[in-house]
Amino acid sequence: MNNFDFKNPTKIIFGKDTIQQLENEIPKDAKVLLLYGGGSIKKNGIYDQVKTALAKVDVMEFGGIPANPEYATLMNALKVIKEEKITYLLAVGGGSVIDGTKFLSAAALFEGDTPWDILTNNIRTEKGMPFGTVLTLPATGSEMNSGAVITRAETKEKLAMGGPGLFPKFSILDPQVIKSIPTRQLANGITDAFSHVLEQYMTYPIDALLQDRFAESILQTLIEVAPKVLKDPTDYKAAANFMWSCTMALNGLIQKGVPTDWSVHAIGHELTALFGIDHARTLAIIAPSHYKFNFDDKKAKLAQYAERVWNIKEGSVDNKANAAIEKTEAFFNELGIDTKLSDYTKGYEGTAEKISQRFTERGWLGLGEHKTLSPDKVEKIVKMAY
């Protein structure tokens, strides 16, 4: 096991009818900017619940934060924050709204030239404007971590940021929100959380026995509840387990003391930036090819995953590892998620070369748990995923 530091100060408020507890979490004298996305919260009743809970607080609003939160839109929100002397941010939405709010939390107190520098220069945010979240879409885990990914349309870039100042003060998780989420988004959420676990688990054994078992626990739980959630999003029991699994998948715990990969995300982000493919689906496209290409590096862990998560006890390490990749791809397919780039777009020729070139230009010369996944290897993986 590697040495590690772990600290996660976010307060989670989990369960039925918990949105009303907002009232106790936001300081009475705060000037709040409520941030949200395309407006679904006005149709499903969440907006009304939030406004009722905040009746005694000074609240302004900024809606329209898109999926893959867009820099230009966020800069408009930043203007509001500065002009209106906002002191507290409240994200009501999924990962995109929460990530956008994290960018604003950092940008509001940033003293450099332009907030884009936070992303391009990898500036860690030690202190941000305080913010809380009401999660409306389980998937990214952003509600209990300190990372964010921001997109800039004009340059077709999608970059990550973070720092200890970007943990939400609180996050409210009411599994009842799931009943109004479209099936497509639920499938994305399951795939996203599942992929988050794989990025932190599918590397090589390092005798981190408990972390491995926790990772396997989340995978097993997602596999168990996925068909129930998709069949009946009003099934509270399934929804609650789905929601808590998504949070635990990326709140830092399972990556402590172990090597992590994150190549699938790095490559997947490019597919979103280039083609607008849903984030989770880009992960499902890349992961199987990635595991096949790096088979020798990952087969010990793939075989462990086969045994413990998919109950494949027979055969050699290679057999089990291959079966695990097939099971994973089949799981995504059963959720209605296609796993080839050609399923999503025409005109994908040249994509592999383009991504490889971008990684070279950014100096991303060795990704993955061994820091050896070079741009030429990335090119081959993407081609395998066509």
| Tokens coding 137 | 């879409």
Q: Which is nearer to a second copy, 136 or 294 (CB)?
A: 136
With both helix axes pointing from N to C terminus, report the angle between 317-334 and 295-308 in degrees, rounded to the nearest 10: 70
Please identify, using beta-carbon distances, which residue of 11 and 371 lies nearer to a second copy: 11
- What is the size of the binding site for a second copy (CB under 8 A)? 39
Residue closer to a second copy by CB (options 133, 351) is 133
> At a CB cut-off of 8 Å and minimum separation 6, what does 369 contact?
203, 204, 259, 260, 261, 297
Query: For residue 344, what are its two tokens?
Result: 């999503």
In the numeric block, which tokens belong to residue 76? 């408009």
Q: Quickly tell me which residue has 């789905």 as its tokens.
A: 242
C-beta closer to a second copy: residue 18 or 151: 18
Query: Least distance in Å: CB of 245 to a second copy?
Result: 5
List the one residue from 16, 82, 231, 362 that touches a second copy (CB under 8 A): 16
Stretch that binds a second copy, among 1-9, 30-38, 190-198, 265-273 (CB under 8 A): 1-9
Residue 313 near a second copy by CB under 8 A: no
Sheet with 131-135, side-by-side order of all strands: 58-62, 31-35, 88-93, 131-135, 170-173
Residue type, 254: I
Q: Helices 263-275 and 351-362: crossing angle, nearest 10°?
A: 120
244 binds a second copy (CB under 8 A): yes
Beta carbon of residue 337, minimum distance to a second copy (angstroms, whole number): 22
| Spacing of C-alpha 243 from chain mean position | 13
Select 224 or 318, whichever has its Cβ closest to a second copy.
Answer: 224
> Tokens representing 153?
């349309």
CB under 8 A: which stretch of 146-154, 243-251, 273-281, 317-325 binds a second copy? 243-251
Q: Would you say 10 or 87 has its CB closer to a second copy?
A: 10
The yes or no reply on residue 241 touching a second copy (CB under 8 A) is yes
Smallest gap from Cβ 29 to a second copy, in A, equals: 20
Specify whether the CB–CB gap between 379 and 352 falls below 8 A.
yes
φ/ψ of 383, rounded to 5, equals -65, -40
Does 360 contact a second copy by CB under 8 A?
Answer: no
Residue pair 65/73 in contact by the 8 Å Cβ criterion: yes
Verify binding: residue 364, a second copy, rule CB under 8 A: no
Stretch binding a second copy (CB under 8 A), from 66-74, 242-250, 288-296, 359-367: 242-250
Candidate ranges 9-17, 70-78, 92-100, 366-374; the one touching a second copy (CB under 8 A): 9-17
Longest CA–CA separation in the chain, Å: 65
Out of 136, 191, 245, 263, the only residue in the binding site for a second copy (CB under 8 A) is: 245
Q: Restricting to residues 178-237, which ones interact with a second copy according to CB under 8 A?
A: 207-211, 213-214, 216-218, 220-221, 224-225, 237
Query: Which residues ranging from 248 to 307 are in contact with a second copy (CB under 8 A)?
Result: 248, 256-257
- With vertex at residue 221, the alpha carbon angle to CA 212 and CA 168, rounded to the nearest 5 degrees, is 80
DSSP state of 248: H
Task: Determine, following the binding rule CB under 8 A, whether residue 14 of this chain makes contact with a second copy.
Answer: yes
Nearest Cα neighbor of 305 from 333, 290, 324 is: 324
Least Å from the CB of residue 1 to a second copy: 4
Question: Are residues 367 and 160 in contact, defined by beta-carbon separation less than 8 angstroms?
Answer: no
Integer angstrom CA distances of residue 183 from 35, 195, 271, 280: 24, 18, 22, 13
The verdict on 5 binding a second copy (CB under 8 A) reads: yes
Shortest gap between Cβ of 208 and a second copy (angstroms)?
7
Residue ranges binding a second copy (CB under 8 A) = 1-16, 18, 207-211, 213-214, 216-218, 220-221, 224-225, 237, 240-241, 244-245, 248, 256-257
